[in-house]
Amino acid sequence: MIYDSYHGLEIGDQKDQLPTNLGVESGVESGGESKMSVQVLSSLKEETLSKSEIAKRLGKSKPTRYLNEMMARLVREGYVEYTIPDKPKSRLQQYRLTEKGKNEV
């Protein structure tokens, strides 16, 4: 029997078996992602911003792939919305908080 002392669970007889209640995220990934998400939501609290402006507030010179994916997820989950919803790829696109996003900040 393999025992996962970190989560206090018995995993099973084979190393490739994983318990279903562990989740996929590691503490570093979920902590870093949630910290960055909070920073993005906080930045959008007072004004609408473009993705480039959000990247600069996060200390990046330009939007990264990670930021692009996170913004898409925040839009999909309803925390953030486009200022030009009919043209999500517009060069003039900006982001603003939804009511759900405002409740998280």
Span 64-87, pLDDT tens digits:
999 999 999 999 999 999 999 999
Cα–Cα dist 84/80, whole Å = 12
Q: Which residues does residue 49 pair with via DSSP β-bridges, in sequence order?
A: 95
Burial degree of 36 (CB within 10 A; 0-12, 13-18, 19+):
middle
The ranges of the chain with pLDDT < 50 are 3-4, 6-7, 10-11, 13-30
pLDDT, position 55:
96
Architecture of the structural domain at 23-104 = Orthogonal Bundle (1.10)
Closest CA to 38 of 92, 82, 83, 80: 80
Whole-model pTM: value is 0.68
Cβ pair 3, 41 in contact under 8 A:
no
Residues 93, 94, 99, 103: is their CA dihedral positive or negative? positive
Phi, psi (deg, nearest 5) at residue 12: 140, -165
